[in-house]
Structure 1
Amino acid sequence: MVVEQVETLSGGRWIGAGSWLDVLSPADVRVTVAQVPALTPADVTATYDAAAEAFAGWRRTSPFRRAEIFRAAAALLRERADAIAADIVAENGKTTAEATGEALKAADFLEYYAGQAREAYGALLNDVRPGTRASYQREPIGVVLAITPWNDPLLTPARKLAPALIVGNTAVLKPATETPLSGMHLARALHDAGLPAGVLNVVTGRTSQISDALLDDARVAAVTFTGGNAVGEELRVRAARRNVRFQGELGGKNASVVLADADLDHAVAGLVAASFGQAGQRCTATSRVIVDRQVHDDVVKRLAARLESLQVGAPDADGTAMGPLVSTSHRDSVLGYVRQAADEGATVVTGGTVPTGDLAHGCYVAPTLVADVTPAMTIWREEVFGPVVAVMAVDGLEEAIASVNDSDFGLAAAIYTQSLTSAYRFVDEAECGQVAVNTATSGWDVHHPFGGFRQSGSPFKEQGEEALRFYTRVKAVAIHLVD
């Protein structure tokens, strides 16, 4: 079987390399989906050469021209959605429906930020000095390095690159090694839509060989990263030493609360969607369920029944509700957390196993429900990032809020209740960047500010107008009018 070699974009050209990296299928790790270039440190430096050279012209390009390119690229993403989704399915393991939704949401990001090109980029200011007109304006910062994860391999690059490029920056994208093809589709759509050479460049390669060239280039003005806390903290410190801006969307241990007055059918449906969509591989996925003791046993019973009915299978097969995890190493990590929970005294109600038969060669984990959990248990405190949910009983709203906030993280939280009083108190007191009432923790639109508190990320938000703050600097101007 001939494996396709997919070139990467650098300086407006599609290039290969002397050696190539295999992209494996999480549905069957014996299958190589494609190969991508293993770039060298010199290749990485060349991408920065291209990005730096392109910056001067791109920042002077009319915002309306930039928007025109974005709209054309969005149209291409929609036209190519089936082919893009097929690659997301192949390299990531999302179901076809999830992958198609990701392709269309990436197009939404481009269209939304195309619209931002018409918005104000500064303001007039009053000035105490007679005859003086003061103002401030926002302007691009330079070359942005975007390091993106495998769980949303097209959506996250679009979320980062759309605001970065629309305001006049250039960018180098480093997609996750496991899922590089998805980011290539975004680059190809922008390239085919007329993006000038060097404005966007994509680096693929072995991280151990190219990380220094990628992170330490003097021309990097900002680093935006989505991924784990250990790597994020290392990047934050490394950027701070050089006064380079850092934006991190990091871990989460998101909680959903079910109060005694909740509509339990609605709540359980929301919990399943929030916890097991994308096989639980969402930064906003619910992984802790906090249930009022009055309805705890009923909720656990309902959840178990729903999980046992979820169809796990090949991501491109009809009827599949949940596909594989992204890799064997990640699968083994998730299963390790489940085993540790049992060792610490929790009860594995359902799941925690690997399917057999046709799925044995993939990275599958059965939907897992863990009960009898205490706050001291590892599974309650650390991010598992898989199809595993832990349940704990509490007595009432006050204890539920305290349990939500008893975490190092603060990304997302939800509450299910029919009391407006309880809902508004939860909104005010939950220490998270996203709070939902009677709906899932995951699934925010492109114009909604996105990001967490505490160890879940940096102060800079993504999405919406807030994202533009990270990718621009503010210049104050005073003009004294002389006759």
Structure 2
Amino acid sequence: MRSLETLLGGEWVAAASTGEWIDVHDPADVRAPIARIPALAPKDVTRAYDHAERGFAVWKRTGPFERARVFTAAAALIRDRLGEIAADVTAENGKTLAEARGETLKAADFLDYYAGLARQGYGTLLHDARPDTRTHTQREPIGVILVISPWNDPLITPARKLAPLLATGNAAVFKPATETPLSGLHLARALHDAGLPAGVLNVVTGRTAEIEEALLDDPRIVGITFTGSNDVGNRIRRRLADRNVRFQGELGGKNASVVLRDADLPFAARTVAAASFGQAGQRCTATSRVIVEQEVREEFTRLLVAEVEALTIGRGSDPATTLCPVSSPRQRDSVLAHLERAREQGAEVLTGGGADTEGERAHGCFVRPTVLDGVTPEMDIWREEVFGPVLAVRAVDGFAQAVEAANDSVYGLAAAVFTRDLGAAYRFADEVECGQVAVNATTPGWDVHLPFGGFRDSGTGYKEQGEEVLRFSTRVKTVAVHFGA
């Protein structure tokens, strides 16, 4: 078992002031820990903000070309360390090596993209009604930002958040998920090794319950970017209600894929299965509801079940695995509780429906990929986010009912429609209430330059990715210069 260091003030800290550690486990076999990280105390968190405050004073005055150089070098280091990083992503999260390698390379892409964006224009020249006056706007960093990332995408989510805010001159205190800290530490090490000045990025490892007050209440925080559950996100929002602190939240989802009667059904079944069961359904954009027109329901569900039953369950490090474990015993038990309640409320299990404890999988967090049919709007499984390998199927009559069913949720992150009718595709895109829409494709996360974020209870006003994220990490100043006599 490795003992890992965390990054505070440009130094790698081998132990917390308490001397305590937190064990990290592989969800494929939870009997023994694979690593341990320092369990920081509140005073260590305050030190992280001290360092960030000093780091911001340096970094905001660092030119964009130097910032870009650091990012480009860090991206190259991540690619050079691909094998090592992907192995740790798999070991702590459970996802397959193919998924972990993709996540690692995408993290490098985020750094490259924002290295390029750092070089671009940062304001606009405006007309001024006054004679002999030139007016422009300029974007500036806002200060010290707290980054809280989840366990399901432990490398790409920190990269998505940290890259734009650091590229624009801010400093960060970064709290990775306690279950999956190794990936975020790899990102921090790449940035540190690439020459990021001391204090610009500080990594707080520890038990959230023990450090929450120090983490969230420091007066130097000007922004918090959070990905996780609505319960936690809303608690943070309430805590910030009387403070001038920006909040960017990427929260829950109950994403729907609609299969119309004219769709290519074999293609739709393959694509929905990929969208639902990749990473064992532990993606914020994973399809968890399928809405299918009644006249093709029987054929589509037959094809879908065949795709799901062809998945190979196993540990992520096995190249043959196509369905990995869920992330922890707690998450496994939560998914199984959702399944039990769905059965009690009348859903029909077409395949799966329970834990997989065969052979070596007895010591891991494996849930069989599950398709539920006969789901109605009154069932909890239709409305509640499961975040596991579970797919609920509901039949409807016609396009209007399909859109109504897709919108029948408090969430609004992602949706997809499968059809050969271009008119229906565009109508769906116009009428569905969500931030990401796909036609004949998986419910999307998409590329680094495309704005990402949901509507309704799936997110807040600030998007991630692309140039839209700069609305969160920068402020706009208007400058008028009178040059006449």
Q: TM-score, normalised by structure 1?
A: 0.99
Aligned to 2:90: 89
Distance 1:214 1:289 in 2: 39
Aligned residue pairs, count: 481
Aligned to 1:475: 477
Distance 2:97 2:237 in 1: 35
Aligned to 1:361: 363
Structure 1 residue 352: deviation in Å? 1.4
Aligned to 2:114: 113
Report 1:60-75 matches (<5 A): 60-75=61-76
TM-superposition CA deviations, 1:101-139 (whole Å, max 9, x none): 000000000000000012111111111111221111110
Aligned to 1:291: 292
Structure 1 residue 86: deviation in Å? 0.5
Q: What amino acid does structure 2 have at the position aligned with 1:14?
A: W
| SS of match in other structure, 1:360 | helix
1:399 aligns with 2:401: yes
1:150 aligns with 2:151: yes
Distance 1:6 1:99 in 2: 20
For the aligned residues, what is the CA RMSD?
0.7
Aligned to 2:342: 341
Aligned to 2:266: 265
Q: What amino acid does structure 1 have at the position aligned with 2:390?
A: V
| SS of match in other structure, 2:240 | helix
Aligned to 1:27: 28
1:422 alignment partner, one of 418, 424, 428 = 424
Q: Is the 8 A contact 2:438 2:444 kept in 1?
A: no
Structure 1 residue 431: deviation in Å? 0.6
Q: What amino acid does structure 2 have at the position aligned with 1:8?
A: T
TM-superposition CA deviations, 1:57-96 (whole Å, max 9, x none): 1001010100000000000000001000100111000000
Q: What amino acid does structure 2 have at the position aligned with 1:416?
A: F
1:182 aligns with 2:183: yes
| SS of match in other structure, 1:255 | strand
Q: Is the 8 A contact 1:37 1:205 kept in 2?
A: yes
Q: What amino acid does structure 2 have at the position aligned with 1:336?
A: A
Report 1:133-212 matches (<5 A): 133-212=134-213
Distance 2:333 2:210 in 1: 26
Q: What amino acid does structure 2 have at the position aligned with 1:347?
A: E
| SS of match in other structure, 2:249 | strand
| SS of match in other structure, 2:3 | coil
Distance 1:58 1:475 in 2: 19
1:438 aligns with 2:440: yes
TM-superposition CA deviations, 1:23-52 (whole Å, max 9, x none): 011001112010000001110000100000
Distance 2:6 2:355 in 1: 35
Distance 1:435 1:446 in 2: 16
| SS of match in other structure, 1:246 | strand
Distance 2:262 2:209 in 1: 53
TM-superposition CA deviations, 1:253-289 (whole Å, max 9, x none): 0000000000011101110110000000000000000
Structure 1 residue 240: deviation in Å? 2.6
Aligned to 1:448: 450
Distance 1:379 1:207 in 2: 29
Distance 1:349 1:337 in 2: 16
Which stretch shifts more, 100-109 or 441-450? 441-450
| SS of match in other structure, 1:60 | coil
Structure 1 residue 318: deviation in Å? 2.2
Distance 1:294 1:247 in 2: 42
Distance 1:172 1:254 in 2: 31
Structure 1 residue runs of 4+, over 4 Å off?
none
| SS of match in other structure, 2:151 | coil
Q: What amino acid does structure 1 have at the position aligned with 2:219?
A: A
Aligned to 2:3: 5
1:461 alignment partner, one of 460, 463, 478 = 463
| SS of match in other structure, 2:60 | helix
Aligned to 2:50: 49
Aligned to 1:78: 79
Structure 1 residue 443: deviation in Å? 3.6
Structure 1 residue 299: deviation in Å? 1.1
Distance 1:333 1:246 in 2: 28
Distance 1:353 1:402 in 2: 31
Distance 1:133 1:317 in 2: 63
Q: What amino acid does structure 2 have at the position aligned with 1:441?
A: T
Q: TM-score, normalised by structure 2?
A: 0.98
Structure 1 residue 478: deviation in Å? 1.2
Distance 1:390 1:453 in 2: 22
Aligned to 1:380: 382
Distance 2:241 2:483 in 1: 40
Distance 1:129 1:240 in 2: 40
Q: What amino acid does structure 1 have at the position aligned with 2:283?
A: R
| SS of match in other structure, 1:270 | helix
TM-superposition CA deviations, 1:337-388 (whole Å, max 9, x none): 1111110011011101212221011000010000000011000001000000
Q: What amino acid does structure 2 have at the position aligned with 1:87?
A: D
TM-superposition CA deviations, 1:233-266 (whole Å, max 9, x none): 0111212321100000000000000000000111
Q: Is the 8 A contact 1:253 1:411 kept in 2?
A: yes
Distance 2:65 2:45 in 1: 30
Q: What amino acid does structure 2 have at the position aligned with 1:69?
A: V
Gaps of 5+ in 1: none
Q: Is the 8 A contact 1:223 1:239 kept in 2?
A: no
Q: Is the 8 A contact 2:6 2:203 kept in 1?
A: yes
Structure 1 residue 482: deviation in Å? 3.8
Q: Is the 8 A contact 1:55 1:170 kept in 2?
A: yes
Q: Is the 8 A contact 2:436 2:444 kept in 1?
A: no
Q: Is the 8 A contact 2:274 2:442 kept in 1?
A: yes
Distance 1:93 1:476 in 2: 49
Q: What amino acid does structure 2 have at the position aligned with 1:57?
A: V
TM-superposition CA deviations, 1:406-441 (whole Å, max 9, x none): 110000000000000100100110110000000000
Q: Is the 8 A contact 1:354 1:360 kept in 2?
A: no
Q: What amino acid does structure 2 have at the position aligned with 1:407?
A: S
Gaps of 5+ in 2: none
Distance 2:196 2:312 in 1: 42
Distance 2:482 2:237 in 1: 41
Structure 1 residue 146: deviation in Å? 0.3
Distance 2:250 2:459 in 1: 5
Q: Is the 8 A contact 2:350 2:372 kept in 1?
A: yes
Which stretch shifts more, 210-219 or 349-358? 349-358
